[in-house]
C-alpha cells in the first residue's frame, strides 16, 4: 500500500514539474504531461490562425509546450523586432529537431546550423553566389526559361490547366542553374526527379513528425521518417554527382560560374592558406547546396502560384498591371532595371507576399542565452516562433487585412512606401532569408512576363476565390486550382 502511495506521489510530483511554466515566462494554456499543448494544433485550422486567435486570451506573446519543448510565440511586430533585431544575439539559434538534425548532419548547413564563425562563412558564401548569379546570369536564364514556359502555355492556352507544373519547372530550372550551372529542358528526367523528391519530402514531413516533439517516439517505427530519409538521400546523391562532375571539370584559377564552383574554389583557397580546422568540408558543400535548393524552390514556386491565383481573383488589378507594363515597357521582355519604373506592379508583388504569406511561421528560432521578450523571461533552449502571418494580418497596421489591396504599399505620389514595420516575408536580422535578392528578382521577371503576355481567368464552373490557403506546411501553397490563360499577342 505504502509503495503505491509513494509511486502516486512521485507521479504527481513529476507531472507538476512536467507541466509547470517556468517562473516569469509568457502565459499560455496549461500543457498535458508528455504531449504538452500539441492537441491545440489538431484539426483543420492552420497553426498560425490558431496562434493569432490565442492572442485574445494570452496577449501578443505567449508560450506553449510542444511535447517536451517550451516555445514562445510572437504575434506582433514590436516583439518580433525585439527578438530579431534588438536582441539578435540572444535569439539567433535553431532548436534541436530530430529530423532536421539528421538531415543537416548536426547543423552543418545554413538553415539549421547554430551561429558560429563557420556558419557565418557559409552564409557569406551563399550570399556571394546568389548576388553574383542574380547580377550576371539571371536575366539571360529567365529569358530561356520564359521561352520554355511560352511553349507550354501556348499549348494550354484557352483550356483549363493547373499552373503548378509550369511554374515549378521554371523555378527549379533557375535554382538548379544557380547551384549546378546547368539549364534543363522541362522534361529533363533530373529536373522531374527533383520535383518528385520535393513533393515526397513535403508529404512525409508536413509540419514535423511526432519524433520531433516527443523524444520517446523516436523509437517507434515511422513511415514519414523513413520516407523523409530515403528522399533526402536521393537528393544528396544527385548533389554529390554534381559536385564530382564539377571537381573533374573546373579550374580553381578561373572565376566561379555557379554555387558549386564557388564553394570548391573557396575550399581550395582555404586549403592553400589556412592550417586551422576546415570551415568548408565536403559535407558542408553538400549541405549548403541542398539548403539553397530546398529553401529556394518551394518558396518561390508557392509565391508565383499565389500570384496567379490573386490575379484570377482580382481581374481589375491584373488589368492595371497590364496597362502599366504596356505604357512603360511595351512588348519587350521585362528587365530587372524596369522594376523601379513599375511601382504598381511592385506594390502588387508586395501585396501577394503579404496576402499569401508563404512561410507563415518563418523558421523557428531558439534562445541561445537567458533573455527577455517584453516583460517576460525566456530561458536558454526555448523555441521562438515569429508568426509572420499574424504580423501581415495585424489590423493595427493594415486596413482590412483580409482584402487584397496593392495600393496599401503606395503613398500619395504612387511611390512604394519605405517604412513597413509589420511586413516580414523574408524575416530580418541575423537569420534573415539568404535568397531574398534572387527570390525578388526571379518572381518579378517571371510574374511580369506572365501578366504581360497572358490573361489569367477562372476555369469554367469555378465559383469563389482561388487564392485560398492549402494544407498548412512550413511553406504553404494555395489549394490546387485550374485557370484558363488567353494569349495577348
Interface contacts to ligand HEM, rule CB under 6 A: 110-111, 123, 130, 175, 291-292, 295-296, 299-300, 303, 358-359, 362-363, 425-427, 431-435, 438-439
User: Which residues are CB-contacts of 436 (< 8 A; sequence separation ≥ 6)?
Assistant: 426
CB 303, min distance to ligand HEM, A: 4
CB 331, min distance to ligand HEM, A: 27
Query: Per the structure block, which three cell numbers stand in for 106?
Result: 548536426
User: Which residues are CB-contacts of 313 (< 8 A; sequence separation ≥ 6)?
Assistant: 404, 465, 466, 467
Nearer to ligand HEM, 83 or 214 (CB): 83
Handedness of CA 175, 179, 184, 188 (dihedral sign): negative
Task: Give the end-to-end CA distance of the chain in Å, rounded to a whole number.
Answer: 88
Three-state SS for 355? helix
Nearer to ligand HEM, 201 or 458 (CB): 201
Q: Are strands 383-386 and 69-74 parallel, antiparallel or unpaired?
A: parallel
CB 226, min distance to ligand HEM, A: 26
Nearer to ligand HEM, 434 or 450 (CB): 434
Shortest CA distance to 19 belongs to which of 73, 72, 65? Answer: 65
Nearer to ligand HEM, 110 or 378 (CB): 110
Task: Provide the strand spans (E) within 193-311.
Answer: none
Nearer to ligand HEM, 170 or 359 (CB): 359
Residues facing residue 73 across a β-bridge: 62, 385
Nearer to ligand HEM, 174 or 214 (CB): 174
Nearer to ligand HEM, 455 or 476 (CB): 476
Helix (H) or strand (E) holding 371: strand 371-373
Distance CA 284, CA 106 (A): 11
CB 283, min distance to ligand HEM, A: 16
Nearer to ligand HEM, 54 or 434 (CB): 434
Distance CA 323, CA 318 (A): 9
Burial readout 232-251 (b: 16 or more C-beta within 10 A, e: otherwise): beebbebbeebbeebeeebe
* Residue closest to ligand HEM when measured from CB atoms: 435
Residue in the block written with cell 573557396: 266
Query: Per the structure block, which three cell numbers stand in for 155?
Result: 499549348
Amino acid at each position: 500500500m505504502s509503495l503505491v502511495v509513494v509511486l502516486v506521489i512521485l507521479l504527481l510530483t513529476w507531472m507538476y514539474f512536467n507541466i509547470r511554466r517556468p517562473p516569469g515566462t509568457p502565459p499560455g494554456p496549461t500543457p498535458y504531461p508528455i504531449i504538452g499543448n500539441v492537441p491545440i494544433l489538431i484539426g483543420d485550422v492552420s497553426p498560425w490562425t490558431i496562434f493569432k486567435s490565442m492572442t485574445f486570451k494570452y496577449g501578443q506573446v505567449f508560450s506553449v509546450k510542444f511535447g517536451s519543448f517550451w516555445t514562445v510565440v510572437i504575434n506582433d511586430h514590436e516583439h518580433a523586432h525585439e527578438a530579431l533585431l534588438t536582441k539578435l544575439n540572444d535569439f539567433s539559434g535553431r532548436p534541436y529537431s530530430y529530423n532536421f538534425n539528421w538531415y543537416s548532419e548536426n547543423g552543418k548547413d545554413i538553415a539549421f546550423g547554430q551561429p558560429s564563425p563557420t556558419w557565418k562563412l557559409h552564409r557569406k558564401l551563399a550570399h556571394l553566389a546568389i548576388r553574383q548569379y542574380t547580377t550576371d546570369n539571371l536575366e539571360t536564364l529567365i529569358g530561356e526559361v520564359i521561352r520554355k514556359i511560352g511553349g507550354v502555355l501556348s499549348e494550354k492556352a484557352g483550356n483549363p490547366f493547373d499552373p503548378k507544373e509550369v511554374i515549378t519547372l521554371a523555378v527549379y530550372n533557375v535554382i538548379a542553374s544557380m547551384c549546378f550551372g546547368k539549364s534543363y529542358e522541362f522534361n529533363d528526367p533530373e529536373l522531374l526527379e527533383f520535383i518528385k523528391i520535393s513533393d515526397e519530402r513535403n508529404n512525409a514531413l508536413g509540419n514535423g513528425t511526432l519524433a520531433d516533439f516527443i523524444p520517446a517516439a523516436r523509437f517507434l517505427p515511422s513511415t514519414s521518417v523513413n520516407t523523409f530519409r530515403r528522399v533526402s538521400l536521393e537528393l544528396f546523391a544527385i548533389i554529390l554527382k554534381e559536385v564530382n562532375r564539377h571537381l573533374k571539370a573546373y579550374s580553381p584559377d578561373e572565376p566561379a560560374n555557379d554555387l558549386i564552383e564557388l564553394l570548391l574554389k573557396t575550399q581550395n583557397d582555404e586549403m592553400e592558406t589556412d592550417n586551422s580546422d576546415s570551415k568548408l568540408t565536403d559535407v558542408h558543400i553538400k549541405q549548403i547546396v541542398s539548403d539553397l535548393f530546398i529553401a529556394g524552390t518551394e518558396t518561390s514556386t508557392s509565391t508565383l502560384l499565389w500570384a496567379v491565383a490573386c490575379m484570377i481573383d482580382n481581374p481589375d488589378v491584373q488589368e492595371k498591371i497590364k496597362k502599366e507594363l504596356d505604357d512603360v515597357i511595351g512588348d519587350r521582355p521585362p528587365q530587372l532595371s524596369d522594376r523601379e519604373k513599375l511601382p504598381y506592379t511592385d506594390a502588387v508583388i508586395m501585396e501577394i507576399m503579404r496576402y499569401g504569406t508563404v512561410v507563415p511561421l518563418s523558421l523557428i528560432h531558439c534562445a541561445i542565452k537567458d533573455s527577455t521578450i517584453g516583460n517576460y523571461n525566456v530561458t536558454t533552449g526555448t523555441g521562438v516562433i515569429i508568426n509572420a502571418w499574424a504580423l501581415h494580418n495585424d489590423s493595427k497596421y493594415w486596413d482590412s487585412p483580409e482584402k487584397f489591396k496593392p495600393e496599401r504599399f503606395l503613398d500619395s505620389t504612387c511611390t512604394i512606401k519605405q517604412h513597413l514595420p509589420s511586413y516580414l516575408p523574408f524575416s530580418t536580422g541575423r537569420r534573415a532569408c539568404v535568397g531574398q535578392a534572387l527570390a525578388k528578382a526571379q518572381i518579378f521577371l517571371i510574374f511580369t512576363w506572365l501578366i504581360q503576355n497572358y490573361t489569367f481567368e477562372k476555369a469554367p464552373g469555378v465559383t469563389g476565390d482561388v487564392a485560398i490557403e492549402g494544407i498548412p506546411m512550413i511553406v504553404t501553397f494555395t489549394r490546387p486550382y485550374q485557370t484558363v490563360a488567353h494569349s495577348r499577342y
